[in-house]
Amino acid sequence: MLNIALVAGSGRSNSQSGKVARFIRQRLIRLEHSTEAHSSLIDLGLDPLPLWPAEDAGLWEQYRTQLQAADALVIVAPEWNGMACPAIKNFFIYASKAELAHKPALLVGVSAGVGGAYPISELRASSYKNCRLCYLPEHLIVRRVEQVLNGPEAANEDDQRLHARLDYDLDILLKYAKALQPVRESIDMGNPAFANGM
């Protein structure tokens, strides 16, 4: 079975992004795409990484192991002041090719209102260059987040639409994950001349 790592990219300890990441993990399990053992969650609000550079990298060693085991990722990014939250940008300073190269990732933008697109476009523009994470062309935007994804059954029409879209996106993510496994095996990751992207 494929292994999925989910990253909740809010710096707040009781974040809606954490809620969304947990919902998606449970949905993966319910759809039998994954299990507790074949998925892992990194909540950067509950268990933060120190702001880079730091003398002690804190939980990074643990996170690195989780990410290395993953075949696919879900990156949940809240919109803060029209930007991606600093916690997820800091995460991408730590992350490198060794953990993430050529692994597919579903981007999930989160907004309390009708935003949520800015963190998607920001992370698509900057975040993947050195770590070579492959964002799917498909993404999810969770608007009015407090009203949706609060339980396994959809609570309203917006929630219903979002559940259907999430299932569609997760199916695509799993297909990419399977397809990219042999691609990763066939790529020379060790060439020191190309350690960073251009």
Ligand X SMILES: Cc1cc2nc3c(=O)[nH]c(=O)nc-3n(C[C@H](O)[C@H](O)[C@H](O)COP(=O)(O)O)c2cc1C
State both tokens at 127. Answer: 């975040």
| Options 7-15, 64-72, 91-99, 190-198: segment touching ligand X (CB under 6 A) | 7-15
| Options 14-22, 29-37, 65-73, 165-173: segment touching ligand X (CB under 6 A) | 14-22
Among 3, 16, 39, 90, binds ligand X (CB under 6 A): 16
Q: Would you say 112 or 136 has its CB closer to ligand X?
A: 112
Among 3, 39, 90, 111, binds ligand X (CB under 6 A): 111
| 193: phi then psi, degrees, rounded to nearest 5 | -65, -25
Residue 15 in the binding site for ligand X (CB under 6 A): yes
| 171: phi then psi, degrees, rounded to nearest 5 | -60, -45
| 30: phi then psi, degrees, rounded to nearest 5 | -65, -35
36 class by beta-carbon count within 10 Å (0-12 exposed, 13-18 middle, 19+ buried): exposed
Calculate Rg over the CA atoms of the chain.
16
- Stretch 127-156 residues interacting with ligand X (CB under 6 A): 145
Bridge partners (DSSP) listed for residue 106:
74
Where does this chain bind ligand X (CB under 6 A)?
Answer: 10, 12, 15-17, 78-82, 110-113, 115, 145
